[in-house]
Amino acid sequence: MDTIYSDGYPIFFENAVDELTAFIKNGKYSRVFILVDENTSVHCLPIVQDKLGNADNYDIIEINAGEECKNIDFCIGVWKMLIDFGADRKALMVNLGGGVITDMGGFAASTYKRGIDFVQVPTTLLSQVDASVGGKTGIDVDSVKNIIGTFTQPKAVFIDYDFLQTLPPRQILSGLAEMLKHGLILDASYWNQLKQADLHNPPAELIHASVILKNKVVMEDPTEQNIRKSLNFGHTIGHAVETWSLTHDGDPLTHGEAIAIGMLCEAYLAYKRTGLSKNELDEIQFVIGGLYQHYSLNPAMYEDVYNIMLKDKKNIDGKINCTLLNRIGEFNIDNFFEKEELFEALDYYAGL
Amino acid sequence: MDTIYSDGYPIFFENAVDELTAFIKNGKYSRVFILVDENTSVHCLPIVQDKLGNADNYDIIEINAGEECKNIDFCIGVWKMLIDFGADRKALMVNLGGGVITDMGGFAASTYKRGIDFVQVPTTLLSQVDASVGGKTGIDVDSVKNIIGTFTQPKAVFIDYDFLQTLPPRQILSGLAEMLKHGLILDASYWNQLKQADLHNPPAELIHASVILKNKVVMEDPTEQNIRKSLNFGHTIGHAVETWSLTHDGDPLTHGEAIAIGMLCEAYLAYKRTGLSKNELDEIQFVIGGLYQHYSLNPAMYEDVYNIMLKDKKNIDGKINCTLLNRIGEFNIDNFFEKEELFEALDYYAGL
Ligand SMILES: NC(=O)c1ccc[n+]([C@@H]2O[C@H](COP(=O)([O-])OP(=O)(O)OC[C@H]3O[C@@H](n4cnc5c(N)ncnc54)[C@H](O)[C@@H]3O)[C@@H](O)[C@H]2O)c1
Ligand SMILES: NC(=O)c1ccc[n+]([C@@H]2O[C@H](COP(=O)([O-])OP(=O)(O)OC[C@H]3O[C@@H](n4cnc5c(N)ncnc54)[C@H](O)[C@@H]3O)[C@@H](O)[C@H]2O)c1
Ligand SMILES: [Zn+2]
Ligand SMILES: [Zn+2]
């Protein structure tokens, strides 16, 4: 699996942890800080430390796990650790974890002393195929997601398949939703490969292919004018359902589970609006429906979900903006919908 | 006074408040936020509002005045106001105040939704000749100055001389130190003009000239590799004395007052090390000594001041890095000093 080149930095796949340790050892960094959460500290850090050997110029910064920690208080904690450790401008930050660690560590590093170098070592499938590419860093404030952040590229990304061995199955499925999305919006033959694979253990090559697809999109449209909007497929409705679930369910949906719901609803809208065939709609439903447990959507929650969608920054004049498909492998941006049509899409999912 | 062009943005001088209101009215911004502190709210905001007339698409965000407010807590307050007001990516932030407002407002804007547009409207002499040019934004954490920030250019800078009418005399002198510095390091004829002017009311043309000098430096060396280091003249010792004063004096030195002390000490080092003539040293002492009240440096505090200098990021191997002068108008970077030589420079000042 070839190294992928993004906006000025490499994304390593083969022997990625070896590449990481070489990068750390050869880099002229005054000190190295490895940011982990309580889970990657147990499951991933030993793998890195094993290869680092007795290199002694690094410190560990550990935070709690979970989206609720991706906030300004934990970020201040990270900054203060850097201050206490006397980190100077030549320090390196290694973000070893899922999207929470790569987003928050990237933000902390991009603002410490107006920016120190950082590298991303994504350890969840979601962060490998999505969060680690594109240069977005961020934290949540007042539970508004990613409201504070920067566009800053890492010096390198190291994607090691082995980290996924300890990842819980629900987290695999969460990242898988983005891989399915990449196929649906961009590449029918990749979608066909996915259909034939064991998607509960997605093979390394398909992860690599997914990163190539995402990287192509963000390289062509870094500022989200047009084709980068393709990545929103499934996310208008999916994100609203995710937010609803977070505030109402004891065991809320993961991001990918919600996006799976969103993709089904929006595939239905594509069938109604942009020419997706009934056959292809059924195929998408068959594949996604076979992977993710059905979630019960109750008409009593539709208004709430709609109100969440109304806050979406992509809307115009109160109409909801969705990225759809013309067919599998071809996206169609900036489709606007009224409430009734969205409710019909939710009904479609609810009736499956 | 011509508009100055910096790294992609204009710095307006003539009728700057008119230019600002035109910028606001013609810009296609969804909403405008004017950040002020309790003083600029009284002294500067009415001048802007007067010209804005009944334009109604702006909100005011007011914070307390003073360096102690340039911290992450106030910054979170600004972010939350933006969230509460529903600021989107097309919002504009107008930072109307001294360096505290322009630094913190610039940081808040450069990170809100990964960056919204902002403009700087500096209202102190220091912020007009120094803080508003160069793209540095920042806040203090745990009273470590400017430890968190970004390099982000504003969309424009508006420097209006009229704002200075309400500025207390000590604040004029504070900014004046940077103007004197610009002459000493870069331009002997500018230094001569300053000598002949009424420096308690520096004329607009000399402010304009000072911004041209600073802008030239930051444009030539945006990443502080070489000539931008010239701006550190007076700051190695000056900044240490400032920090000492902040933690020990009831009415601490302003930044410029401390830099004035630092420039005298470092001019002495230049006389000892880099060939500044005795005549020029005396001239610098005559000019600066005539403007700033003498501050009593006590040998008992030298160790403390030295320990503060040791934390300076420009040091190498525990030796203290100073920018000096070859002669008036010509700087000389990366001169390293031992403790004894620095104490001698402090003695020189103490004996004046
Ligand atoms: N920057 C971007 O472009 C981008 C794109 C997509 C998502 N994101 C962000 O990513 C975040 C979600 O990412 P995520 O799903 O990786 O969340 P996460 O970082 O919370 O990881 C999920 C869980 O898996 C655990 N974990 C991580 N690696 C493990 C491993 N190898 N073995 C066992 N457990 C492991 C974590 O501790 C956590 O409990 C969100 O905050 C989202 O906003 C960012
Ligand atoms: N970004 C940079 O490159 C850069 C360069 C130099 C200094 N700075 C920063 O600038 C800050 C110091 O700037 P400052 O001296 O302007 O401080 P400041 O913003 O605290 O202003 C000084 C005082 O003057 C008041 N004031 C401002 N305008 C006024 C007016 N027109 N009339 C009456 N009162 C007025 C303020 O309320 C404050 O009390 C420091 O935090 C420093 O780090 C930044
Ligand atoms: Zn997603
Ligand atoms: Zn200064």
Return the SS3 of B325. strand
Contact predicate A33/A85, CB 8 Å: yes
B327 counts as catalytic? no
Chain B residues in contact with A71 (beta carbon < 8 A): none
Residue A54 has pLDDT above 80, yes or no: no
Residue A297 CB partners (closer than 8 Å, separation 6+): A241, A261, A346, A349, A350
Contact predicate A218/A228, CB 8 Å: yes
pTM: 0.95
Return the SS3 of A316. strand
**Cα-to-centroid distance, B255 and ligand 2 (Å):** 10
Tell me the C-alpha distance between A261 and A238, whole Å.
6
Length of chain B (residues): 352
Mutate to test the pocket of ligand 1, among A124, A151, A219 (most ligand atoms within 8 A of CB): A124
Contact predicate B228/B7, CB 8 Å: no
For residue B214 and ligand 2, the question of a CB distance below 6 A is answered with no
Interior/surface letters B26-56, b for 16+ CB within 10 angstroms, e for the rest: eeebebbbbbbbebbbebbbebbeebbeeee
Contact predicate A94/A45, CB 8 Å: no
- Of the candidates A19, A242, A255, A266, the residue annotated as catalytic is A255
Residue A143 has pLDDT above 80, yes or no: no
Query: What domains lie within chain A, and their CATH numbers?
Result: 4-166 (3.40.50.1970), 177-197+209-350 (1.20.1090.10)
CB contact under 8 A, B79 and A147: yes
Q: Which two tokens stand for residue A61?
A: 């910064």
- The string of DSSP codes covering A236-289 is HHHHHHHHHHHHH-SSPPPHHHHHHHHHHHHHHHHHHHT---HHHHHHHHHHHH
Q: Which two tokens stand for residue B133?
A: 């040019």
A224 counts as catalytic? yes
Helices B188-196/B204-220 angle, 10° precision: 160
What percentage of chain A exceeds 70 in pLDDT? 100
Residue A193 has pLDDT above 90, yes or no: yes
Q: Give the model's pLDDT for residue B338.
A: 95
pLDDT by position in tens, chain B (length 352): 999 999 999 999 999 999 999 999 999 999 999 999 999 999 999 999 999 987 778 999 999 999 999 999 999 999 999 999 989 999 999 999 999 999 999 999 999 999 999 999 999 999 999 998 999 999 999 878 899 999 999 999 999 999 999 999 999 999 999 999 999 999 999 999 999 999 999 999 999 999 999 999 999 998 888 999 999 999 999 999 999 999 999 999 999 999 999 999 999 999 999 999 999 999 999 999 999 999 999 999 999 999 999 987 777 778 999 999 999 999 999 999 999 999 999 999 999 9
DSSP state of B254: P
Q: Which two tokens stand for residue B227?
A: 């000539």
Length of chain A (residues): 352
Backbone conformation region of residue B114, classed left if phi is above 0, alpha if psi is from -120 to 50, else beta: left
For residue B97 and ligand 2, the question of a CB distance below 6 A is answered with yes
Contact predicate A300/A239, CB 8 Å: no
- Provide the pLDDT confidence category of residue A315 given band limits of 50, 70 and 90: confident
**Cα-to-centroid distance, A306 and ligand 3 (Å):** 19
Could you give the dihedral angle defined by the CA atoms of residues B147, B151, B155 and B157, in that order, rounded to the nearest 10 degrees?
A: 60
Tell me the C-alpha distance between A24 and A284, whole Å.
43
Tell me the C-alpha distance between B208 and B81, whole Å.
34
**Measuring CA to CA, how many Å separate B346 from each of A21, A223, B277?**
47, 52, 19
For residue B166 and ligand 2, the question of a CB distance below 6 A is answered with yes
Tell me the C-alpha distance between A218 and A230, whole Å.
10
Nearest to A194 by CA among A215, A217, A175, A170: A175
Which amino acid appears at position A314 of this protein?
K
CB proximity A113 to B under 8 Å: yes
Tell me the C-alpha distance between B47 and B221, whole Å.
35
Q: How many CB atoms lie within 10 A of CB A166?
A: 14
Q: Which two tokens stand for residue A173?
A: 């499925």
Residue B231 CB partners (closer than 8 Å, separation 6+): B181, B185, B214, B217, B323
- The string of DSSP codes covering A132-178 is TSS-B--EEETTEEEEE--B---SEEE--GGGGGGS-HHHHHHHHHH
Mutate to test the pocket of ligand 1, among A7, A35, A39, A253 (most ligand atoms within 8 A of CB): A39
Nearest to A136 by CA among B114, B283, B34: B114
Q: Which two tokens stand for residue A313?
A: 């920054």
Q: Calculate how close chain B gets to A148, using CA atoms only, in Å.
A: 5
Q: Which residue has its alpha carbon closest to ligand 1 atom 11?
A: A99
Tell me the C-alpha distance between A293 and A122, whole Å.
26
Contact predicate B309/B269, CB 8 Å: no
Nearest to B147 by CA among B81, B103, B112: B103
B255 counts as catalytic? yes
Which amino acid appears at position A32 of this protein?
V
DSSP state of A112: B
CB proximity B114 to A under 8 Å: yes
Tell me the C-alpha distance between A332 and A283, whole Å.
19
Contact predicate A44/A256, CB 8 Å: no
What percentage of chain A exceeds 90 in pLDDT? 91
Nearest to B297 by CA among B329, B261, B340, B321: B261
Question: Which ligand ends up closest to the CA of A99?
Answer: 1
Residue B273 CB partners (closer than 8 Å, separation 6+): B324, B335
Nearest to A330 by CA among A227, A258, A235: A227
Residue A292 has pLDDT above 90, yes or no: yes
CB proximity B225 to A under 8 Å: no
Phi, psi values for residue A267, rounded to 5°: -65, -40
Q: Give the model's pLDDT for residue A117.
A: 97
Residue A56 has pLDDT above 80, yes or no: no
Most A CBs within 10 A among B76, B110, B111, hence the mutation to make, goes to B111
B136 counts as catalytic? yes
A114 counts as catalytic? yes
Q: What ranges in chain A are assigned the alpha helix state H?
A: 16-26, 38-43, 45-52, 72-84, 99-111, 125-126, 169-186, 188-196, 204-220, 235-248, 255-273, 278-291, 302-310, 339-350
Phi, psi values for residue B292, rounded to 5°: -110, 135
Q: Calculate how close chain A gets to B169, using CA atoms only, in Å.
A: 32
